[in-house]
Chains A and B, each alone.
Chain A
Amino acid sequence: MKIRIDHENLALTGPLLAFAVGTLIIGAEYSDISEFVPYWASIFMLITCLFVILGFDNQMTDEEAEAEAEANASEEISKSRIYIAILWISAFVFISYFIGLILGSAVYAFCSMYLFGDKKLLPTLLISVLLGCSLFGMFEYVLEKELYMGIFGEMLLEDY
């Protein structure tokens, strides 16, 4: 077996290796009973990370490598699109954190469809309002859960 660094997965295996080392060091300080599972999991994770990084597990034949490359090519999405997707999905949490979950959902749905989806204003507005109302009805009345009002909503309630 030859050692060949697997550069392609290093962006993921590198941080995972650091994670395993970190949990190993921290986990070693716990008492015997508390440390057993995380300690041994960290050790084995460390070994598997090194195994992958050193390319020992990547023993594909020509046909398999071609098939995987083909499958990856058909699923190819540019990095910028991936970053935008992560940022936009994260935006839901931050919008909701400030203006509340129900209002946040409606606003987020509207922005997603109108700004990114090039949909017409009226149907977009209708779907967003319907989504907000159905979520409100389902959680507040059917499930009887008090939903988060958002930082602004909480502040307004306090002032009121």
Chain B
Amino acid sequence: MEALDLAVIAEAWLKLLEFDSMIYLVLGTVIGLIFGVLPGLGGTTALALLIPFSMNMEPGDAIILMAGVMASTPTSGAVTAILLNTPGTAPNAATTLDGYPLAQQGKGGLAIGAAATASGVGGLLGVIFLIAMVPITREIVLMFAPPEFFLLAVLGLVTVSLSTGKKFVKSLMVGLFGVIIASVGYHEVTGEERFTFGVDYLWDGFKLVPVMIGFFAVSEMINLWAKRGTVSKSGDIESVNLKQVLQGCLEPFKQWKITLRGAAIGTGVGALPGVGGTVAAFMAYTFAVTTAKPEDRDSFGKGNIIGVIAPESANNAKEGGALVPTLAFGIPGSAEMAVFLSVLILHGLTPGPTIMTESLDIIWILIAATVVAGVMASVITILSASSIAKLTFVDSRTLVPIVLAFAMIGSYSLDNEIYDVFTTLAFGVIGFIFMRFGFPRISFPLAIVLGPLMETSYFQSLGIGDGTLSLLFDRPQSIIILVLIAGCILYYLKNSVGSSPKGRSKVS
């Protein structure tokens, strides 16, 4: 299959235009908008909760549903960032810097229009980057063999941990915990039982879906329940003027250089494992401030529309960038991508060379769905910003039991196994404990997904290398990855351990 086969591309668009597909796309977009607006929930939770429902669908439909969620969550998060100074998702935090002051000046509609349009345009540019990268990454990925995939999995964990800054070691610890958890169950080559302690339920290991749902959705519900009150702590919502919103829609085009630059930063940063949307959004914002005319710089933080356009464009563009390592190498760059990767795996789609050669139709469906969902999310946000923001006033006592019911029943329904519900609860508590202690949780889902890949690649490497791991050090591709791993560790050691701390308040 050619990477840019027009017949495949046309087929993907025709598939998207089918009635069922459009329903899934709208559903995914609406769910994404709702979860994006509720601080603490976000795309990862939404994706985890939807996995059980997607299992009854065709792979193409499941991908459309998930694409709808992924493309829309960053868009709606900007609404509460602007109107309530409460970012729906972490990357929307940069939008509050100028978005909220604009709302206080009675220009909330202008900011929302600009944010929604910048999100749509940014998302579109991110997808164009993904399209451009499909043929290139396809060639690169075909040069990789099992030893490289083993090392890539290690590199994925290391880079994701590195992105947490000074919490590198803690993140690595959480990741290694995930690798061990992923190794529970019988070994698919030797048939040996590992860490099952004679429990039949553990014979197949911990199932991906209950673990993911527990770790993200249930842990957030425990947190929300403990916090009490409404999701948003802010006061009233300013009513949004539609005329102003439409004026705002034109702003990203008037400031097209800012929009393009933000999107470029977003896609570039998104493609790096672990760096994520928050860094992309703040980088784009900082870049916009530093490159502004000296006389305009003072207006940032006081309600400059550019301060809304730059981060929002970057935030949505990162999705396209983040999909590149996820699809091409099976190395997810974020928790959301790790959950998405598990959706692909559960539907029998193996990321890496297989998906890049045999399932290109799925990639094109994903691209088409992301484009349409991004535009749809922007339009819905523009038309119903005030109503969307009101969702954050839902009481946690109402929200928690509803989300919990869907999470637990979703976990159960996959295999009709009540013990899956207990697993979900257990990993919910584990996820919550990591959260309370301030340990980065991002590496855990990555490890759960990458653990089996490590095992398989290790065994295949042994097979190719006649029982030795010499191939890890023989091939130039492997050596490059090894150097990158060593570089990441050295970078951390140089910047954190070697420097003398001025204050160590947390350590007695």
Chain A residues close to B by CB (< 8 Å): 1, 4-9, 11-13, 16, 19-20, 23, 26-27, 30-31, 33-34, 36-38, 41-42, 44-45, 48-49, 51-52, 55-62, 64-66, 68-69, 72, 77, 81-82, 84-86, 88-90, 92-93, 96-97, 101-102, 105, 108-109, 112-113, 116-117, 119, 127, 131, 135, 139, 143-148
Contact = CB atoms under 8 A, between A and B. Distances in A.
Nearest to A44: B176
A98 to B, nearest CB: 11
Contacts of A69: 505-506
A12 B439 CA distance: 10
B408 A96 contact: yes
A106 to B, nearest CB: 8
A42 B183 CA distance: 11
Contacts of B412: 101, 147-148
Interface string B130-174: 000000000000000000000000000000000000111110110
Interface of B: 53, 56, 166-170, 172-173, 176-177, 179-180, 183, 187, 189-190, 192, 194-195, 218, 221-223, 225-228, 395, 397-398, 400-402, 404-406, 408-409, 412-413, 416, 418, 421-422, 425, 428-429, 432-434, 436-439, 451, 454-455, 458-459, 462, 496-497, 499-508
17 contacts: A7-B507, A13-B173, A37-B179, A37-B454, A38-B194, A42-B176, A52-B173, A57-B497, A82-B222, A85-B225, A86-B432, A92-B425, A112-B397, A113-B397, A113-B401, A144-B56, A147-B412
Which DSSP category, helix, strand, loop or mixed, fits chain A's interface? helix
Contacts of A127: 398
Contacts of B437: 9, 11-12
B263 to A, nearest CB: 30
B397 A117 contact: yes
Given A66-B505, A69-B505, 6 more contacts: A16-B173, A36-B455, A52-B173, A85-B226, A90-B425, A145-B416
B504 A36 contact: no
A145 B228 CA distance: 33
A101 B455 CA distance: 36
Nearest to B153: A37
Contacts of A5: 507-508
Nearest to B500: A59
Contact of A105 (B401, B432, B439, B503): B401
A127 to B, nearest CB: 7
Given A37-B183, A145-B416, A96 B421 contact: yes
Given A44-B176, A85-B222, A101-B409, A108 B401 contact: yes
Closest 3 CB pairs of A and B: A117-B397, A105-B405, A85-B226
Nearest to A136: B409
B312 to A, nearest CB: 24
Given A41-B183, A57-B168, A148-B412, A93 B459 contact: no
A62 to B, nearest CB: 4
